Amino acid sequence: MAHGWLAPCALCGRQSRGFLYCHLLRRDRFPDYSFCSRTCTDLGMALARENNGVIDKTARETQALREARRPFAEALTALGLMEPFHNRTAAEIDQLIEAAVTGYVESMQRQAAMPERSGTPFDDEIPF
């Protein structure tokens, strides 16, 4: 598991920005976490305090996936795509959401390990 300032936010997977937390400041006993924001730090600290200094990612991921179904369904409806998805199982919907989220988070993590781009237009690699 990645640690330190290069690790993605322990809560949302975005690039961390120097918000660090270790339960009771005992780095010998508890994992240290980095976060992207004050909000994620406060939420992550609360989770760690409730759970012996550890943030239980699996339970949160499961809940986040479940809670993403509604906005996903809303986007499908808005785009007129609900029909082909209507009879799909929740597990299949979750698989789609997870594919998009995993790709997004992994890209954020790769980018976090590289120097910041200039931010000007066309500084992306040409994709062809």
Please give the residue ranges that form the binding site for Zn ion (CB under 5 A): 9, 11-12, 14, 36, 40
Q: Is 34 exposed, middle or buried (0-12, 13-18, 19+ CB in 10 A)?
A: buried
- Shortest separation between residue 14's beta carbon and Zn ion, angstroms: 5
CA distance 119 to 37: 21
Beta strands in 7-117 (DSSP E): 19-22, 32-35
- Smaller CB separation from Zn ion, 90 or 113: 113
- Shortest separation between residue 27's beta carbon and Zn ion, angstroms: 21
Residues forming a β-bridge with 32: 22
- Smaller CB separation from Zn ion, 42 or 85: 42
- Shortest separation between residue 39's beta carbon and Zn ion, angstroms: 7
- Shortest separation between residue 31's beta carbon and Zn ion, angstroms: 16
SS3 66: helix
| Composition of the chain by helix, strand, coil, percent to 5 | 50, 10, 40
CA distance 18 to 91: 36
- Smaller CB separation from Zn ion, 19 or 53: 19
- Smaller CB separation from Zn ion, 8 or 53: 8
